[in-house]
Structure 1
């Protein structure tokens, strides 16, 4: 009986922590957020916006890698952007469906939606390339965070 009570308390405490906690991400200055939302392409490089415009999984910080290197960690209602050389790249995150192969062109913008998927024991995500209209709308609902160097 004691085990059941202890287990019940642990579940309740975990649920409150999950509902109350939010993933910690480093927000960029407001000026940088405003500038990024002008969506101005750069000649010679592809600009990729990774955004997470949901509050589902708010307690989870989700790492995103590009070609095997950490690009940043998203939190709820956040985005970051980075430049890539033209060519083939692999973007990954945690969870099933979290691999996106992208063939980029210089001077173009790309929008990747990180959809949070909740599993039985942990959260994951699905990375989806979306069109510019949907991507700009999603990014506009979010705040810019610092990408990893």
Structure 2
């Protein structure tokens, strides 16, 4: 077989494997609508939205951690919402192919923050990454009718990951 043909077949096989759909525990319709109203956080707190909206990797569920503790698994077109103590640093992590990918967030009280989880092609299975997005972009995606609030179930394939020493020292 020609090397280019093998690469093409491998790419197609990977695409088929990562474009199914996955499901995770969801919140009630009432809680979904409340979170989509983008409330001002309580006094001294910040709002954190973590969402996933990529077509690639629909069959994959990916763990998300806050300071090393599982908050839940993501799937396509879902988001998490929580309020955190403001004016501090947090480490958000996502399961990836070989090791977690991290995003350090400096959170100020009284604001909502938005993080997009994205799926990327891996060697054996799709990996995941995290990126901060603007409030405008986060609200645009989360406001779509087919994007819904997932329960912060605390269920992950690996219940906790060891936080990096430097992230813990920044707190």
Corresponding residue for 1:24? 23
RMSD: 2.2
How far 1:62 moved relative to its partner?
Answer: 0.7
Q: After TM superposition, what 4+ stretches of structure 1 lie above 4 angstroms from structure 2? A: 14-17
Partner of 1:72, secondary structure, is strand
CA distance in 2, matches of 1:38, 1:15: 37
Corresponding residue for 2:53? 53
Richer in strand (by share): 1
How far 1:121 moved relative to its partner?
Answer: 0.6
Is the 2:19–2:55 Cα contact (8 Å) retained in structure 1? no
Partner of 2:23, secondary structure, is coil
Residue 147 of structure 1: which of 133, 152, 157 is its match? 152
Structure 2 length normalisation: TM-score?
Answer: 0.73
How far 1:31 moved relative to its partner?
Answer: 1.1
CA distance in 2, matches of 1:41, 1:98: 29
1:41 matched to 2:40? The reply is yes
Q: Which runs of 5+ in 1 are unaligned?
A: 1-10
Is the 1:97–1:127 Cα contact (8 Å) retained in structure 2? no
How far 1:40 moved relative to its partner?
Answer: 1.0
Corresponding residue for 2:79? 79
Aligned length: 137
| Distance change >3 Å, CA 83–CA 16, structure 1 → 2 | same
1:93 matched to 2:94? The reply is yes
Is the 2:47–2:112 Cα contact (8 Å) retained in structure 1? yes
CA distance in 2, matches of 1:16, 1:56: 8
Residue 128 of structure 1: which of 112, 126, 131 is its match? 131
